Amino acid sequence: MHAKPIRESGGDRAFNVVNYIMLTIVLIVVLYPLVYVVSASFSSSYAVLSGKVWLWPVEPSLDGYKAVFKNKNILTGFQNTFFYTVAGTFINVVLSILAAYPLSRKDFRGRNKFMLLFVFTMMFNGGLIPTYFVVKDLHMIDTVWAMLIPTALSVWNVIIMRTYFQTTIPGELLEASQIDGCNDFRFLLKIVVPLSGPIIAVIALFYAVGHWNQYFNAMIYLKDPQLYPLQLILRDILVQNEVRIDMLGDVKSAAARQGLRELLKYSLIVISSVPLMLVYPFVQKFFVKGVMIGSIKG
Amino acid sequence: MQLRTLTDVRKGWQLYALFALPLLYIIVFKYVPMFGNVIAFKQFTVTKGMFGSPWVGFAHFERFFNSYEFWRLLRNTLSISFYTLIASFPFPILLALGLNYVKHERFKKTVQMVTYAPYFISLVVVVGLLFQFLDPRTGIINSFLGWFGVDPINFMGQAGMFQSIYVWSHVWQNVGFACIIYLAALAGIDPSLHEAAVMDGASKVQRMRHIDLPGIMPIAVILLILNTGQIMETGFEKILLMQNALNLRASEVIDTYVYKIGLVSQALNFSYATAIGLFKAVIGFVLLIVVNQTAKKVGQESLW
């Protein structure tokens, strides 16, 4: 991208060296905690407890993972989270398209007023307690709907999508289709959606991450442990340190139990984070596009 | 002409039909709660309902302003926000500037890939990681300090350390993701500027200072405005996870207090909690407007 001079000056070479060193430091600072967690999760409970793990697994074992998969609550949490993520993201994407497409059309009467109505909600929030009462009055408390409907739409994502529609769907295409007798429903379904693969992928990922990592709504809206998402169970174990003895199987001594408890936490962190980590490299290339579109003033 | 208008209306009808569901959502889950804020001016009880409860005017607000908690909450909220704002602003820019001068594509891709990753980790897991690393007995930080003869420190139990732990783990989690937008802005700079600068013998540092930095300035200013407008919004879901009795002095912010008064406490007080939340929302809204207007006046970028 940049023009290459024939030979770099001494100052520029020094700059390169400093630059690479700094970036390597950043790389290590970000990466080390992640590597440590993975290594710890594959070590023995004794090695974890006695602080022998520094970089690579020590006395490799799968005890932590075995303990995780034996646990019914965690498995239920996984199932619930999976359901909330898939169903929730589907609702999100559909609603976002439904909102963004009309707003992207210049001939949509009152679109500026609707836009203002939407954007205003980003600047002024209804607040926790009033929102809670709306969810309560709709009888969604302690149902799966509480995990899907209150977060059904993010105005920010609607704006990103609208900008994408405006910049990538040519007006001529709409005119041509209209002349051929295509109505708006068909045009949206047959032309706009197929042409918007990248943005739908990005938006879906943003929403999916939100659902997968959601704990707060679950905490205030759900009471039945059978409905708990994974994050809420993680919170009990990782943050509140509530590891029940029966999660640890037939381990007798207090020290071994303590060790397995720590090991379980590391394994749980790995398992709960792996699904998103697997998805994101595939969608990563669309990111820059998505983030960039979001920054354009619409 | 007549026919044209007719088709317009018919087409318009279809767009409205598409738009109906999202609009319904925004009204029910965004605007109804906004009007639900009237209970801040009432003595709300569930049995009497929103309309039956008696008006009390600004009593809840007065109680809050005069309460012992008020200054502490405001101080914590503002200091956590400003600390986050200042600490998390420069790093993505520096990272982007640095990455922009890396010639080895593989190295560049690796750094990007790795620094984005923490963004996808949930807050619960990030806080869980903090607890694991900072644990006085088994944490790696204390094991490390132990080598230098430092006695184990209970980091999470120290009010003085709470805000730093919160802010720097935030930077760790978000620096890569925040850097994307600057990288994109850098990619949009006209390459001929760099070519001309190289011809004139400009060093990389000079090019960075005089081409790249001005090039990303507009986007940086917009982000700064946005973030300043959000100054009343603390990352309260994370704070809530990190809170404990020992660090409460430094970690209780307006949002966590509203949550406790309104949804957790033994003696729930919906109206009082709503009043505090409304106070926060109004201040935040006014701030956003003021910051944006100021930015407009000084001739910089603005949101609208």
Domain boundaries, chain A: 72-240
- ∠ CA A31-A32-A34, nearest 5°, is 70
- Of all residues in chain A, the one with the smallest CA distance to B144 is A51
Tell which residue, A106, A290, A69, has the closest CA to residue A196: A290
What are the two backbone dihedrals, phi and then psi, of residue A184, each rounded to the nearest 5 degrees? Answer: -65, -40
Amino acid residing at A106: K
Whether residue B303 lies inside any domain: the answer is no
What's the pLDDT score for residue A149? 94
What DSSP character marks residue B303?
-
Are B261 and B135 part of one and the same domain? yes
- List chain B residues with CB under 8 Å of A19: 98, 101-102
Contact B272, B60 (CB under 8 A): yes
**Better-scored residue on pLDDT, B27 or A248:** B27
pLDDT digits over B139-167, tens only? Answer: 888 888 888 888 888 888 888 899 999 99
The answer to whether ipTM exceeds 0.90 is: no
**Residue bearing tokens 């998805």:** A279
Region at A220 (left for phi over 0; alpha for psi -120 to 50; beta for the rest): alpha
Contact B168, B118 (CB under 8 A): no
Are B16 and B95 part of one and the same domain? no
**Number of continuous H segments (helices) and E segments (strands) in chain B:** 17, 0
Contact B257, B280 (CB under 8 A): no
C-alpha pair distances (Å), B266 with each of B57, B260, B262, B269: 25, 9, 10, 9
Amino acid residing at B113: M
Whether residue B88 lies inside any domain: the answer is yes
Contact A146, A217 (CB under 8 A): yes
**Number of continuous H segments (helices) and E segments (strands) in chain A:** 15, 0
From A98, A184, A209, residue closest to B120, measured CB to CB: A209
**Better-scored residue on pLDDT, A143 or B230:** A143
**Residue bearing tokens 């982007």:** B96
Q: What is the SS3 assignment for B55?
A: strand
Indicate the Cα dihedral angle B101, B106, B108, B114, nearest 10°. Answer: -170
Give percent above pLDDT 70 in chain A.
Answer: 90
Whether residue B304 lies inside any domain: the answer is no
Q: Is the dihedral of CA A166, A170, A175, A180 positive or negative?
A: negative
Report yes or no: A33 at the B interface, CB cutoff 8 Å. Answer: yes
Q: For the structural domain made of A72-240, what CATH number should be given?
A: 1.10.3720.10
What DSSP character marks residue A124?
S
- State the Cα–Cα distance between residues A129 and B265, nearest whole angstrom: 13
How many A/B residue pairs have CB atoms within 8 Å?
265
pLDDT digits over B250-291, tens only? Answer: 889 999 999 999 898 888 889 999 999 999 999 988 988 888
What is the mean pLDDT of the segment spanning A175-189?
A: 85
**Residue bearing tokens 């930080």:** B141
Alpha helices in B28-104 (DSSP H): 32-36, 49-52, 59-66, 69-88, 90-100
What's the pLDDT score for residue B6? 55
pLDDT digits over A111-133, tens only? Answer: 899 999 998 998 888 889 999 99
Could you report how far apart the first and last alpha carbons of chain B are, in Å?
36
Are B190 and B83 part of one and the same domain? yes
What's the pLDDT score for residue A131? 93
Are B15 and B132 part of one and the same domain? no
* Residue A25 scores a pLDDT above 50: yes
Tell which residue, B140, B153, B170, has the closest CA to residue A49: B140
C-alpha pair distances (Å), B61 with each of B160, B234, B245: 29, 21, 26
Q: How far is A139 from chain B (nearest CA, A)?
A: 14
- Where residue B197 sits, what CATH number does that domain have? 1.10.3720.10
Check B33 against A183: CB less than 8 A apart. no
What are the two backbone dihedrals, phi and then psi, of residue A50, each rounded to the nearest 5 degrees? Answer: -90, 10
Contact A264, A248 (CB under 8 A): yes
Are B78 and B213 part of one and the same domain? yes
- Of all residues in chain A, the one with the smallest CA distance to B219 is A295
Q: Is the dihedral of CA B204, B206, B210, B216 positive or negative?
A: positive
Whether residue B171 lies inside any domain: the answer is yes
What is the mean pLDDT of the segment spanning B116-136?
A: 88
Number of domains in chain B: 2
pLDDT digits over B216-227, tens only? Answer: 888 888 788 778
Q: Which domain holds residue B203?
A: 40-297
Tell which residue, B22, B217, B239, B90, has the closest CA to residue A94: B22
Q: How far is B98 from chain A (nearest CA, A)?
A: 6
What's the pLDDT score for residue A211? 93
- State the Cα–Cα distance between residues B89 and B174, nearest whole angstrom: 11
Check B203 against A15: CB less than 8 A apart. yes
Are B6 and B120 part of one and the same domain? no
- State the Cα–Cα distance between residues A75 and A79, nearest whole angstrom: 6
Report yes or no: B31 at the A interface, CB cutoff 8 Å. Answer: yes
Q: How confident is the model at residue B173 (pLDDT cuts 50, 70, 90)?
A: very high
